[in-house]
Amino acid sequence: MSKKVKVGIIICDRYRSCAGGKCFRAMAEKSGAFDIYKEDEELELVGFTSCGGCPGGNIEYAPEEMKKNGADVIHLATGFVVGYPPCPYTEHFQKFIPEKYNLKVVIGTHPIPQKYFTTHQNLGSWESKEWKALIQPTLSEEKTRLDYN
């Protein structure tokens, strides 16, 4: 018998018109940050919205609605780490949501596309210890990054 995990996804507002294709694909494939779920765990999307724009006003309210829909975990989409500049509020959101709503937070959804990886490597965006940790769940190997370009 499989366990159902109910997932909420919050995206960076600069991608507010995103249809979620890469996130949903990664969720279905259990790739990127979704690779933490076991094969017998069924993932169900219970909410998808943006942060509301800097500094993330919707972060105060969206997790509550997702929790009402049964969310077990909130994924902060990969756009928070691949946008330029990467979201400076990501760590704040990662601390706030569990404190306020007692929900687990995972940084990332789909694997980082290679084109973003290359740009951020060249710019040095992720050189700090904190950013290296934040991108880890979505880093993947080069072949997967190329598949998500």
pTM confidence score: 0.94
Percent of the chain with pLDDT over 90: 97
Domain boundaries, the chain: 3-147
What share of the chain has pLDDT > 70, as a percent? 99
Q: Is the pLDDT of residue 1 over 70?
A: no
Residue with tokens 């694997």: 111
Predicted confidence at residue 145, as pLDDT, reads 95
Please provide the average confidence, as pLDDT, over all residues in the chain. Answer: 95
User: What's the rounded mean pLDDT across residues 53-62?
Assistant: 96
Q: How crowded is residue 5: how many other Cβ atoms within 10 Å of its Cβ?
A: 19
Average pLDDT over residues 106-131: 96
Give the pLDDT band (50/70/90) at residue 2. confident
- Distance, in Å, from the CA atom of 44 to the CA atom of 67, rounded to the nearest integer, reads 13
Name residues whose C-beta falls within 8 Å of residue 84's C-beta, 6 or more positions apart in sequence: 119, 120, 123, 125
Mean pLDDT score, 85-106: 97
> Which CATH number is 3-147 given?
3.40.50
Strand pairing of 41-50 and 3-11? parallel
Are the beta carbons of 83 and 120 closer than 8 angstroms?
Answer: no
